[in-house]
Amino acid sequence: MTQLPDLAWTSPRDFRVGPFAVTPVLTTEWTALAYALAAGKFTLMSLWAEDGAACMALHDYAAHRVAVARLEGLTDGFPSVGVHHAAAQRLERAAADLFGLVPQGAEDARPWLDHGRWEIAYPLGAAAPHPGHPPYAFLPVEGESLHQVPVGPVHAGIIEPGHFRFTAQGETVVRLEERFGYTHKGIDRLMQGASLARGAELAGRTSGDSTVAYAWAFAQAAEAALEADVPVRAFALRGIMAELERLANHLGDIGGICNDAAFAMMLAQTSVLREKVMRAAFATFGHRFMRDQIVPGGVAADIDSKGVAVLRALIKEVQNRFPPLVELYDNTASLMDRTVATGFAGPDLVRRFGAGGFTGRASGRDFDTRRDLRYAPYHTLKLDVPGREDGDVNARVWIRIREVEQSCLLITQMLDTLPHGPVRTDVEGVHEPREGLGVVEGFRGDILIWLSLDASRRIRRCHMRDPSWFQWPLLEAAIENNIIADFPLCNKSFNCSYSGQDL
Amino acid sequence: MELISNLILQGVQMILVLALAPGLTGLVRKVKARLMRKQGAPVLQPYRDLARLMRKEVVLATNASWLFRTSPYMIFAATWVAAALVPTFATGLQFSWTSDLIALVALLGSARFFLALAGMDAGTSFGGIGSSREMMIGTLAEPAMLLVVFTVALVAGSTQLSNVVVYMASGEVGIRVSMGMALIALIIVAVAENARIPVDNPGTHLEVTMVHEAMVLEYSGRHLAMIELAASLKLLLYMSLIGCIFLPWSIAPASAGPSAMLFGFASFFAKLVAGGVLLAVFEISTAKMRVFRVPDFLGVALMLGLLGTLLLFVSRSL
């Protein structure tokens, strides 16, 4: 086996303030990295293709540092990482669909994003007329008394489209196979050649419930690439927005999970709280989801003392009304009976896939970008990252409950120490190609955005990796040996994004 | 003369249950919504829904057979007849003398049989899942129901509901442990049979968790209206059954005058409202149980029914 390449590891403090130094690697070194990933030496943060190149972002979790390896000069493919390290499989398949760069030696050569309905094949690569695909071959299943239940992409409720192919023996799920790509919007292609302002808007529209986190990650990448000096007040405002977003989504999720166990009371209660968060966001930042509020260089608008008062009142109300709901959850035995021991995601799998957010933290992966790949304003704030080992639906609910409490405390801290000054700076100063990395903790987990700019600050390539890439595969594993009727509960407890990974 | 008055009584009863059934469903929904601090749809909404469904076109699956088209009417007819057998405001119903509690169980069983077949007819996977779950629930609920019937029949000395009601109202019964057990068993069976929480969720949109809704997913238009009306009737049937066996005092005897009839009607209405509110409170305070917990739940009903019957024999032989 080849020696590992000498990677240019970068600490979070460095890659957030300056352009990212990529490590060019040889084919053999690329494969060596794949083996190292499989052996658990680092965590795969993302894998993406560029024009004639393949890139991998790696996280050294022991030393809290990040590296990006790039394999250049590719014409038709690159050695598959997914064949050694399963977490890379879907990313590779997506890269192959977009660029026509085939992961060589991969076990699964089926398309991922491309359902054979695009007019052009490989839209970011050769962009040739589409030859059409053979029908998608679901994994074959053989055995006594097995039957298949196809669910979706059109569901009975108003939710995002995704196809779930259950193979069941009676009620017990033997295998779940997911198929996504139904919300493909061509964002990668739209990004190419876009201005920074347009890019920030596109990033904010990738996954609607995480618009703040996406816009922040994009802004971080752009600001790092262009070495912008963002005012401190902007950081604090971004932090407040991100925590409001987390608060709203977690409250919605906690109620939603209970509702999927037919305990509608909880959803009714948390929906009221969630709505209050949204209205406070509207009153303070002018948009319920705070879309387009974070821009490269700062934030779009400042808040006044009235906004601060609205937020303080909101936090007080949440802190008053949330504990009784937690008690209700904890004391409803029929609910506990559904959530405890359901949808278990093993710690080993979670670690191997590098799943972030509540999914990871509920299964013993103690990682939070806000603490471990720290960025402003969190370096000055007190943050307790909750963790559990049990990895079931109940654990994921409890992580959310603890994070709601933490978010309230964080917002209070930020309001107490809100610095004065401008909220936006100019990012137009650089006239050479630059690359930057942004990693932000969204409510689902770590969102990674890789940004490559040309000399006129137009986007050459923007890769956005949703946390769901590493969480969806775990759902497939978590549902095994559960009953089909428990799937909605497990699915809601993961609450992965469809839009965020279909791009 | 008596025959005519009995026939009129029977006719009034049949129209009454049909007219009140959607309102009861609407009431339960409304109370549930209010308890969750929501506005909720008006109590009369189910009537509007039925009217809307009747006007709408029927969309049939291409491979649906005659069974799929006829089942809604069979289900509705069987349930309606069953509901007509249970004394609501007066005893002495004409149908009572031709059929009894066991026929009631059989009628509901037939409706279930057709519904399960119709669920599988279109060949969708959800229909199949729903039918298999429904049959699992049915095989446990029916014996429990029969044991409740035996307990009641042994106490009252008859399986005919009119006789049972007259006996129960007479005060000869006193407080019996067996009857208490039968009541609890009957309530459990009623919850399961009517696809309520915690056995099934009537308000869910999650295909893979449904039981009753999964079987009727493919139905539309007047077919769906028939099935929804039958479901409402069934809920009303179980409430009037519990009411007439365990709270029989206000039910007018067959020969009573109009004032007693009116009082019987008013108290029936009150029983339905009370039952609807209690059901709503129960439903919002519990989560749905896992599918494989349902046998345990219904097993309790079965055991209570069995114990009730056995206790009667034991106490008699002493």
- B36/A265 touch (CB, cutoff 8 Å), yes or no: yes
> At A483, is the secondary structure helix, strand, or coil?
strand
Whether A269 and A171 have beta carbons less than 8 Å apart is answered as no
Percent of residues, chain B, with pLDDT higher than 70: 99
Dihedral sign from CA coordinates of A22, A23, A24, A28: negative
Over the stretch A74-123, which tens digit does the pLDDT of each residue have?
888 999 999 999 999 999 999 999 999 999 999 988 999 999 888 898 99
Contacting residues for B164 by C-beta, under 8 A, at least 6 apart: B101, B152, B153, B156, B158, B244, B245
Distance, in angstroms, between A334 CA and closest chain B CA?
A: 5
Over residues B277-301, the mean pLDDT reads 92
A55: phi then psi, degrees, rounded to nearest 5? -130, 150
Q: Which chain B residues are closer than 8 Å to A171 by Cβ?
A: 291-292
In this prediction, the residues of chain A whose per-residue pLDDT falls under 70 are: 1-2
- A151/B208 touch (CB, cutoff 8 Å), yes or no: yes
Percent of residues, chain B, with pLDDT higher than 90: 61
Over residues B8-17, the mean pLDDT reads 90
B209 pLDDT higher than 70? yes
B318 pLDDT higher than 80? no
Give pLDDT, residue B242: 94
Whether A476 and A176 have beta carbons less than 8 Å apart is answered as yes
B1 pLDDT higher than 70? no
Domain ranges, ordered by start, for chain A: 12-113, 187-502
Whether A166 and A148 have beta carbons less than 8 Å apart is answered as yes
Amino acid at A91: L
Euclidean distance between CA atoms A185 and A327, whole angstroms: 42
Over the stretch B132-144, which tens digit does the pLDDT of each residue have?
999 999 999 999 9
Label residue B208 by pLDDT band (50, 70, 90).
confident
Domain ranges, ordered by start, for chain B: 2-317
Amino acid at B171: G
A55: left (phi over 0), alpha (psi -120 to 50) or beta: beta
Euclidean distance between CA atoms A272 and A255, whole angstroms: 10
ipTM: 0.87
B313 pLDDT higher than 90? no
Euclidean distance between CA atoms A297 and A292, whole angstroms: 13
The CATH architecture that domain A12-113 belongs to is 2-Layer Sandwich (3.30)
Residue among B67, B142, B156, B154 at smallest CA distance from B104: B142
Q: Which chain A residues are closer than 8 Å to B291 by Cβ?
A: 171, 483, 485
Average pLDDT, chain B: 90
Euclidean distance between CA atoms A149 and A170, whole angstroms: 11
Closest Cβ opposite residue A335 in set B284, B287, B292? B287
Contacting residues for A318 by C-beta, under 8 A, at least 6 apart: A247, A273, A276, A277, A404, A408
Euclidean distance between CA atoms B110 and B116, whole angstroms: 10
Give pLDDT, residue A4: 85
Size of interface A-B (CB pairs under 8 A): 80
Residues of A contacting chain B (CB within 8 angstroms): 147-151, 155-157, 166, 171, 258, 260-265, 268-269, 272, 332, 334-335, 337-338, 483-488
- A264/B289 touch (CB, cutoff 8 Å), yes or no: no
Euclidean distance between CA atoms A142 and A414, whole angstroms: 57
- B209/A338 touch (CB, cutoff 8 Å), yes or no: no
Over the stretch A179-194, which tens digit does the pLDDT of each residue have?
999 999 999 999 999 9
How many C-beta atoms surround the C-beta of residue A412 within 10 A?
16
Euclidean distance between CA atoms A10 and A17, whole angstroms: 11
Euclidean distance between CA atoms A410 and A318, whole angstroms: 13
B125 CB within 8 Å of a chain A CB: yes
Distance, in angstroms, between B180 CA and closest chain A CA?
A: 24
Q: Which chain B residues are closer than 8 Å to A269 by Cβ?
A: 36-37
Residue among A391, A367, A368 at smallest CA distance from A477: A391
The DSSP-derived string for A266-281 is HHHHHHHHHHHHHHHH
- B206/A265 touch (CB, cutoff 8 Å), yes or no: no
Side-by-side strand order, sheet with A43-50: A23-25, A65-71, A53-60, A43-50
- A171/B291 touch (CB, cutoff 8 Å), yes or no: yes
Where b means 16+ CB within 10 Å and e means fewer, A167-202 reads bbeebebbbbeebbbbbbeebbebbeebebeebbbb
- A332/B286 touch (CB, cutoff 8 Å), yes or no: yes
Q: Which chain B residues are closer than 8 Å to A268 by Cβ?
A: 36-38
Distance, in angstroms, between A459 CA and closest chain B CA?
A: 42
B109 CB within 8 Å of a chain A CB: no
- B287/A147 touch (CB, cutoff 8 Å), yes or no: no
Token pair for B119: 């669920």
B254 pLDDT higher than 80? no
Over the stretch B81-130, which tens digit does the pLDDT of each residue have?
999 889 888 887 777 777 788 999 999 999 999 999 999 998 888 888 89
Contacting residues for A396 by C-beta, under 8 A, at least 6 apart: A257, A358, A359, A362, A493, A494
- Pairing type for strands A65-71 and A23-25 reads parallel
Q: Which CATH superfamily, name and number, covers A187-502?
A: Cytochrome-c3 Hydrogenase, chain B (1.10.645.10)
